[in-house]
């Protein structure tokens, strides 16, 4: 892959079921989604967000989902591909595409996410 080739792919409607499966596979670490959500709830949310100018969503290498919702970044990696650095790479690429003035809302017990975002901060500050 060339240096300039992006692994970020804009989310299309055909990706919504995959994103739902990712959301429900990791819901215990979400701040507001404490239980799995239904397809109907998920599709209603995605419909509301698809024309929001402050909402950007991508699949990264078709192995993780990353989104910006008003300046809040979140990422969910497919369980089969966790601990491979994909979330870190996805966040870095997203910040290089959309800028770096964002935040992440992370539950205190989600040490993995904290470590990923800490690593991203170090990567981006080293290249500033």
Q: What is the mean pLDDT of residues 35-60?
A: 92
The whole-angstrom separation of Cα 93 and Cα 114 is 18
Three-state DSSP at 16 gives helix
The whole-angstrom separation of Cα 89 and Cα 67 is 13
Which CATH number among 3.30.750.24, 3.40.50.300, 3.90.1300.10, 3.40.630.30 corresponds to the domain 8-126? 3.40.630.30
For 127, residues 6+ apart whose C-beta sits below 8 A from its C-beta are: none
pLDDT recorded at residue 106? 77
Length of the chain as a residue count: 128
Tokens of 56: 């950007």
pLDDT band at 34 (very low <50, low <70, confident <90, very high): low
Q: Is the pLDDT of residue 30 over 60?
A: no
pLDDT band at 32 (very low <50, low <70, confident <90, very high): low
């Amino acid at each position: 892959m060339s240096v300039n080739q992006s692994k970020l792919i804009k989310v299309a409607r055909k990706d919504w079921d995959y994103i739902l499966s990712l959301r429900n596979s990791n819901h215990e670490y979400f701040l507001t989604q404490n239980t799995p959500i239904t397809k109907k709830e998920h599709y209603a949310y995605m419909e509301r967000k698809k024309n929001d100018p402050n909402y950007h969503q991508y699949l990264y290498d078709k192995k993780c989902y990353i989104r910006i919702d008003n300046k809040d970044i979140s990422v969910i990696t497919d369980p089969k591909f966790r601990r491979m650095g994909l979330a870190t790479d996805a966040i870095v690429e997203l910040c290089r595409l959309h800028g770096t003035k964002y935040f992440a809302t992370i539950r205190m017990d989600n040490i993995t996410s904290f470590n990923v975002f800490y690593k991203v901060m170090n990567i981006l500050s080293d290249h500033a």
